[in-house]
Amino acid sequence: SVAGDSTDWVYFSFATGAEVQGVTEANRMSRSDWDIAFNRFNMRTNSGLSGSGKGGAVETDKTSFADVTEAPSDGYVTDVEITIRGYSNGAMREKKSTGNLALLKAIRFSGPPPTYTVNDHVFVVRTADGKYVKVAFESFHKTIPEQKQPVSGYITFRYAYQPDGSRNLKSK
């Protein structure tokens, strides 16, 4: 796909710990089975203009995963219109889409040349059904054996999901 293609999103459920298949731009508003979505360094939650869920996200001031022991009671950012920027055939392209402004701070993009810096703060995501997850983003690159350089666009993160609906995020 074209870099920065606003229709190329990968949807993920924290409850199942897996990618959610079949979510599209046409049906995402009616689907309650996804919590977060990724389009290169852009992210969505199932909230606001991206989804009809109770989702949202907040950036904490903590850098240690273990130090985030409780989800904040408020301050969650819901999804709004964003501009997706990406390179295609050496030219910068822009498209309107939707995304989460708090999560846009998770991976900082600068360039040219394209440079991606992972924010070391822990984020808390509220899921489509109003549960809480702490998330630490770890990398934006993947090593592929046949490539000389690591390939960008592969977000790795770790998370702790609280299935009981409480704001307790103490690490087990």
pLDDT band at residue 163 using 50, 70 and 90 as cut-offs: very high
Q: Which residues fall within 8 angstroms of residue 163, CB to CB, at 6 or more apart? A: 15, 131
Task: Give residue-wise pLDDT tens across range 108-133.
Answer: 888 777 788 889 999 999 999 999 99
Task: Give residue-wise pLDDT tens across range 37-73.
Answer: 999 889 999 999 999 999 999 999 999 999 999 999 9
pLDDT at 124: 98
Residue that the structure tokens 């050496």 belong to = 90
Question: What would the mean pLDDT of 85-106 be, rounded to a whole number?
Answer: 86
pLDDT at 172: 58
Q: Check if the beta carbon of residue 56 is closer than 8 Å to that of residue 34.
A: no
Report pTM.
0.88
Whether the pLDDT of residue 6 is over 60: the answer is: no
Which of 58-78 are b and which e, b meaning 16 or more Cβ less than 10 Å from the residue's Cβ? bbbebeeeeebeebeeeebbb
Mean pLDDT value across the chain: 90
pLDDT at 4: 43
